[in-house]
Structure 1
C-alpha cells in the first residue's frame, strides 16, 4: 500500500477518549501502512496538567502504525490553532491529510474510504474535502457516496490545493459573504446556527476552525464528498470536551457502517439528498432548545 495519506490526530486532556480513538483506528488494515502524527496541546491551566500528562504518557506508548511522530506543544494553542497549524504543516509536506480529534471512533473501513476518495478526487478542484461522518439519516440513493456543499468536522480529509484557500480571518469572511450577497444563504445552507457561530468567532466567544473552513468552502462554491453511511462516531458529546457540551438527547449519535464504502463514479454536484439532511437539521434545532431547557432545569433542581 503506497502513498497513503498521513493521519493527523489532535489530542488534549481526555485519556480515555484518546485510547478508544487510537484503538479503533488500529483496527483498520491500512493503519500499519500509515504515518500517524499526534499533536498534543499543552495544558491551558493547572487543573488540566494531570490529564494532559496522562494523555502524553499514553500516546508515547502507541505502536502499530508505519511511523509515529508526536508533537507536544510547549504552550496551549487551543484546538483551532492546533488544527490549523497541523493540517497546514502536513498538507504542505505531503499534499493531503486525514484529520481526527481525540473523541472519534472510526469504522474498520475508514482509512480505506478516505484514501480511495483522496486519490479519486485529487485533481478535481471542485471538491475541497472528504467527510467520514454522516448524520443518522436514511437516504433514497443506492450510491455509497453523495456530494454536499458544506464540510463536516468529525473525521475528514483534504488536499493542499484546497486547504491553501483556507481563510482564518472570520471578519474578512463575513464581509465577503455580505459583499457577495451570500450571507443569508450561508446561514440557511449548513448546520443550524452557522452565522451566529461565525459572529461569535469574530467576537472571540469561540475559536472555531470549522466555521471558517465552512465559510471558505461556501464562498468558493466548492463541494464535499460524504459517505451515505457513517464511518465515524463521536463519543465526545458527553460534557468532557472543551468545545462541546453534553446533550441530554444526542441527535448526532449514529451507527457505524460495518461494510466497505465504495468510492464510485458519481456526478460532481450537490446531491438532491441534501433535502433529507435539511429536515434532520430542523430536528437538531428543536433538540438544541430542549437540551438547553433540560440543562437549566437540572441546574435549578
Structure 2
C-alpha cells in the first residue's frame, strides 16, 4: 500500500494490539501515532497508556513513524480534532483508525481505491469502512453513497478536512436560515439534527464526529460506504469513553469485499440505506415508534 495510516490510541493495550496487528499486516509506508495522556486522578491509567504506547513501537516493516503524543490529557474532542489537524497537515490523504476499530484486511484496499478514484472529486468528502445495514445489500455494487459518514475506520483528504470547524461557528446563522430543512426535507430529521448541532455548538457534547458530519453536509459532500462491513468495533465495555454499554453495533462481523470492485453507475445517494440508518440511530424517533407499534399490533392479532 502507499497511503499513510493514522492510529489514535489511549489506554486499551489489548484492543490496540489487535488493531495494530492488522495495520502491520497492511504495511503502510507512513504510520502516524496520536495518543492522549493519562488523567492524573485515574489510578492505573498511566500504566495502561504506557502499555498501549509500547504496543505500537513494534514496527517491523519499512515505515516512517511519526508521533503526536499529548503531554496532558486533552479529552476526546480536543485530542481527536487536534490529532486530525496534525494528520492532514502531514499528509494529503490518510486512512484513520482508533484503537477499538478492528479492520478487515480489505479495508485498506478499499480505502486506497476510493482515495485514488475520488481524490479530485469534491462531491465526495469521506470514505467509511463500516456498513451498518446488518447484512442488507442494496445492490450488486461494491459500495454506495450516503449522507452519513460513519467514523469507525475511515479515510479522507486534506481538501475535505480543511473545512472542519470543531465549534460550528456558522451554525446559528445556518439554522436560522433553514439550511437543514432545505438539506434534509424531513421534519423529524431536522428536529433531531438541530438538537444535535445545538448541543455541539453550546459545548454540551465532548465529541468531534458530529462536527465532521456538519462539515461534509455544509460542503454538499457525500460519503462512500462499502457494501459489506469492514470494521468491527471491539471497544464496547467499561473502559470505553462513549460505548460503555454493548449495543447492536458491538463487534459486528467482518466480511470480505469483492475481489474486483464494481462501481456505481451513477453518483446518487442511497436513500433506502440512509433511511434505515436514520431509524436505527433514532434520528426518526416517531417513525421508529410507529413502525414497531404496527408490528406489535400485528403480533398481538396473531398475524
Shorter-chain TM-score category?
Answer: 0.7 to 0.9
Which of 151, 155, 164 does residue 157 from structure 1 map onto?
A: 155
> What secondary structure is seen at the aligned counterpart in 1 of 2:85?
helix
Superposition RMSD in Å: 2.7
Within-5 A mapping of 1:213-292: 213-247=212-246, 249-251=247-249, 253-260=251-258, 262-267=260-265, 269-272=267-270, 274-285=271-282
The 1:283–1:71 alpha-carbon spacing in structure 2 relative to 1, beyond 3 Å, is closer
TM-score, length-normalised on structure 2?
A: 0.82
- In the alignment, structure 2 segments of 5+ residues that lack a partner are 290-303
Deviation at 1:87, TM superposition (A): 2.2
Residues in 2 aligned to 1:42 and 1:242: alpha-carbon distance in whole angstroms: 14
Provide Cα deviations, 1:71-127, integer angstroms capped at 9, x if missing partner. Answer: 221122223222222222232332111111110110011111111110010010111
TM-score w.r.t. the length of structure 1 is 0.82
Given that 1:174 and 1:183 are in contact with CA atoms closer than 8 Å, whether structure 2 keeps it comes out as no
Separation (CA, whole Å) in 2 of partners of 1:112 and 1:223: 20
Is 1:18 matched up with 2:16? yes
Unaligned stretches of 5+ in structure 1? 290-301
Match of 1:111 in 2: 108
In 2, Cα distance between the equivalents of 1:45 and 1:170? 30
Distance in 1 (alpha carbons) for counterparts of 2:140 and 2:82 = 38
Alpha-carbon distance change, 164 to 182 in structure 1, aligned in 2, over 3 angstroms: same
1:170–1:57 distance in 2 versus 1, CA, 3 Å? same
Larger radius of gyration: 2
Change (3 A) 1:80 1:261: farther
CA contact (8 A) 1:10 1:39 kept: yes
State the aligned residue count: 280
Deviates more, 1:57-66 or 1:98-107: 57-66
The structural deviation recorded for 1:44 is 2.4
